[in-house]
Amino acid sequence: MPDIVIVGGGIVGLCTAYYLAANPAALPSNTHVTLLENVSVACGASSRAAGFIGGGPAWHKEANQDLARLSWECFEQLARQLDGPNTYGYRHCSVTGLRVGAGQDAMSSYRQLPTGTLPLAQKGEARQPWYRGDHVNLDTSGLAAQLDPAQFCSTLHAEVTRLGVRTIIAQPLRRRGKVIETTEGDVAYDKLLIAAGPWSADLCTLLNIPRVPVGSLPGHHIVLKPGTLPAGYDSVPAEAVMAGVGGSGSSDDLAATVTAGGQSNDLSAAERQQGWTQTIEFFPRPDGTVYAAGENNVPNLIGDATIDGRENRLPLTGRYVHRLVDQDLVQRMLRSSAAVSPALDVNNGAELVKADLCYRPVTADTMPLIGEWQRDVFVCAGHGPWGITLAPGSGVVMAELIATDLTRDDVKLSADISGLSPHRFRAAKL
């Protein structure tokens, strides 16, 4: 009986498993779908991401836009089917671009942002914004939403399990023909999907498959419980805020900004020296907390320098990533949060609930690899800052590709992924 094995239990692997299992009619009878994960389901960025969904075309390069359209449709349908608002905090949101301090043009250093559509510092709003600075509406498409990615992944995992997908938690060791030897025994496949996020290239090496061109980009995040909110607010609203903080990079700018906003956060000389996070994104969540992401640096190592024997690089597995959190970078993010809103100032009643780190899977052109890599081996990885947004659409087309006889000329997919071939970098030396 045909076996489909998906290696990697992040959001991309889960969504592919879901769309395979939810459409059994598209598969030969008695097809088995197995999810092979080496740590725990969604232990990487898929459970630690902000959970922002940018469904409108303006957020994406052209080759990603149809996938974003399909993903948005899937999210809306899944929310109805799986009670998204209650099970994983799915809700539509507005998106604001914010500039705190002078001269910072870019509001995001790693994400394409739509051009703002309303004048900065609008007049006539019903209540004062919960942040300081000049702001602009970044999304008029109405196709922006957010969810709790950890809850989404656990909901989807429960659903795929109910639909008959088998999950194996084991470390793959090597490949023998169409059998993967793992620490828990052999796993045979007819079709194999590489969906191991930033670990996808290493997984290929392990399985003696040509490495897929996927790298990794770390990103820190913090979760804050706000202190006192401005008048008129019971909680921080469903408004994602992409902020550029400060100006020339001189630490005096931040102090000037904060003071100009009517409040000083009393930075010490040492703190001024350390600076702050210049581009930072805020995502208020339905539970009242605010998730902030920024600092996409390779972190300093703690302790005596190596994790899993590697220096300053992606750890061998997702198990130890949290040990790499760089407290200096966390302090920088806290300082920027305070500059953006007094309600997010830990010296003014806000509480730091969590500080964490995870790795994005990235490619040289910032778009994912989706397709057949070699005969019966597929890849779906490299979604960069858009892995949550694009996962359901990727799962749909991946399931279609796996279920289809690709030697036929009339292969029809639900989204145009012609610009996302995993072979597009072959000519270029990476």
Which residue from 8, 89, 133, 244 is in contact with ligand FAD, where contact means CB under 6 A?
8
| Given 51, 213, 226, 371, the residue binding ligand FAD (CB under 6 A) | 51
Q: What x-and-dash track marks residues 21-50 binding ligand FAD by CB under 6 A?
A: ---------------xxxx--xxxxx--xx
Task: Give 134's contacts (C-beta < 8 A, 6+ positions apart).
Answer: 98, 99, 120, 121
- Is 101 a binding residue for ligand FAD by CB under 6 A? The answer is no
Question: Contact between 172 and ligand FAD (CB under 6 A)?
Answer: yes
Kindly state whether residue 387 participates in binding ligand FAD, applying the rule CB under 6 A.
Answer: yes
Candidate segments 198-206, 299-307, 332-340, 420-428, binder of ligand FAD by CB under 6 A: 198-206
CA distance linking residue 213 with residue 363, whole number of Å: 7
Taking the least distance from each CB to ligand FAD, the nearer of 50 and 370 is 50
Asked if 358 touches ligand FAD (CB under 6 A), the answer is yes
Least distance (Å) between residue 29 CB and ligand FAD: 28
Q: How far is the CB of 184 from ligand FAD (least distance, A)?
A: 11
Task: Using alpha carbons, select from 144, 62, 69 the residue that is nearest to residue 415.
Answer: 69
Nearest residue (CB) to ligand FAD, 197 versus 342: 197
Any bridge partners for residue 240, and if so which?
95
Sign of CA dihedral 223, 79, 53, 241: negative
Contact at 8 Å (CB) between 296 and 217?
A: yes
223 to each of 92, 243, 290, 293, how far by Cα in Å?
20, 16, 6, 9
In angstroms, the CA 164 to CA 342 distance is 49
Q: Binders of ligand FAD: how many residues, by CB under 6 A?
A: 42
Q: Which residue in 383, 99, 125 sits closest to 243, CA to CA?
A: 99
For residue 219, state whether it binds ligand FAD (rule: CB under 6 A): yes
Q: Give the N- to C-terminal CA distance of the chain in Å, as an integer.
A: 39
Q: How far is the CB of 195 from ligand FAD (least distance, A)?
A: 6
Q: Give least dist CB 133 to ligand FAD, A.
A: 21
Shortest distance (Å) from residue 14 CB to ligand FAD: 7
Q: How far is the CB of 28 from ligand FAD (least distance, A)?
A: 25
Sheet strands side by side (includes 172-176): 172-176, 179-182, 185-188
- Where do we find the tokens 């609008």? 122
Least separation, in Å, of the C-beta of 401 and ligand FAD?
16
422 contributes a contact to ligand FAD by CB under 6 A: no
| Joined tokens for residue 293 | 């992401």
What distance in Å separates the CA atoms of residue 95 and residue 117, rounded to the nearest whole number? 11
How many angstroms separate the CA atoms of 263 and 253, rounded?
Answer: 14
Binding residues for ligand FAD, rule: CB under 6 A, are 7-13, 36-39, 42-46, 49-52, 172, 195-199, 203, 219, 221, 293, 318, 358, 360-361, 381, 383-389
